Amino acid sequence: MNHIEENEEYAFKHWATVISEEAIKRFGNEQVVATGWAPSGYYHVGNFKEAVTCRAIQRELINLGADSQYILNIDDVDTLDKIPAFFKKDYGKMLHPYLGHAINKVLDPLGCHDSYADHFIADGLPRMNEFDVNPEPIHSSKLYLEGKYDKYAKLFLEKKEEMFELTERITGSRMEDFFLIQCPECQNFAAPKMIDYEFVKNKIRVKLLCRRENRGCGKESTIFLGDTQWKLKWRLDWAARQDFLGVTVESSGKDHGVAGGSIDSSLAMHKDIFNKDKLPLLVQHGFLTFGGKKLSGSTGSGMPVSEFPKILEPQTFLYKIYRHNLRTDFDFKADYDVPSVASEYDRAEELFYGEEEIEHLKTREKTVKAYELAQIDEKPIKKPVRVDYGHLVTVMQVCMFDKEQVVQKLIKGNILPKDISKYDMDLFNERYEKAKYWIENFANENLKFKIVDDPRCDDVKKVEKKILEQLLSAIKEIPEGYHGDDITQDLYNSAKAVDFKPTLFFKAIYRIILGRKSGPRAGTLIDALGKDEIIRILEKALDCY
Interface with Zn ion by CB under 5 A: which residues?
A: 108, 110, 112-113, 119, 183, 185-186, 188, 210, 216-217
Nearer to Zn ion, 209 or 385 (CB): 209
Q: Looking at beta carbons only, is 92 or 147 nearer to Zn ion?
A: 92
- Quote the least distance from Cβ 221 to Zn ion, whole Å: 8
The residue among 188 and 262 lying less far from Zn ion, judged by its C-beta, is: 188
DSSP summary character for residue 293 = B
Output the smallest distance, CB 51 to Zn ion, in A: 21
**Closest CB to Zn ion among residues 78, 372:** 78
- Cβ burial 287-304 (10 Å sphere, 16+ → b, else e): bbbbeeeebbbbebbbbe
Question: Which residues, at least 6 apart from 238, have a Cβ–Cβ distance to it below 8 Å?
Answer: 36, 262, 266
Nearest to Zn ion of 179, 505 (CB atom) = 179
CB of 91 to Zn ion, least distance (A): 11
252 touches 246 (CB < 8 A):
no
In the complex with Zn ion, which residue's Cβ is closer, 110 or 376?
A: 110
Of the pair 181, 522, the CB lying nearest Zn ion is at 181
DSSP label at residue 203: E
Smallest gap from residue 212 Cβ to Zn ion (A): 9
Q: Do the beta carbons of residue 54 and residue 34 sit within 8 Å?
A: yes
Write down the least CB distance from residue 130 to Zn ion, Å.
19
Helix boundaries (H) for 12-95: 15-27, 45-63, 85-95
The distance of closest approach from Cβ of residue 299 to Zn ion in the complex, given in angstroms and rounded to an integer, is: 19
Q: Which of 38, 49, 37, 39 is nearest to 122 (CA)?
A: 39
Shortest distance in whole angstroms from residue 183 CB to Zn ion: 3
Measuring CA to CA, which residue among 286, 284, 393, 297 is closest to residue 331?
286
Best CA proximity match to 520, nearest among 450, 464, 462, 429: 450
Which of 52/186 has CB closer to Zn ion?
186
C-beta closer to Zn ion: residue 101 or 431: 101
Write the CA distances from 460 to 324, 456, 488, 522, integer angstroms.
45, 6, 21, 17
CB of 78 to Zn ion, least distance (A): 17
CB of 119 vs Zn ion, minimal distance in Å: 3
3-state class (DSSP) for residue 489: helix
Q: Could you tell me which of 396, 289, 282, 392 has the C-alpha nearest to residue 33?
A: 282
Burial 406-430 (b: 16+ CB within 10 A, else e): bbebbeebebbeeebeeebeebbee
Which CB atom, from 84 or from 216, has the smaller least distance to Zn ion?
A: 216
Taking the complex as a whole, how short is the minimal distance between the CB of residue 97 and Zn ion, in angstroms?
12
CB 77 within 8 A of CB 179: no
Q: Whole-number minimum distance, CB 139 to Zn ion, in Å?
A: 16
**CA dist 413 to 187, 418, 450, 484, 513, Å?**
68, 11, 21, 9, 20
Residue 293 forms beta bridges with which residues? 290
Would you say 304 or 502 has its CB closer to Zn ion?
304
| Reduced 3-state DSSP string for 246-264 | CCCEEEEEHHHHCCCCHHH
Cα 412 vs. chain centroid, distance in angstroms?
A: 37
State the DSSP code for 445: G
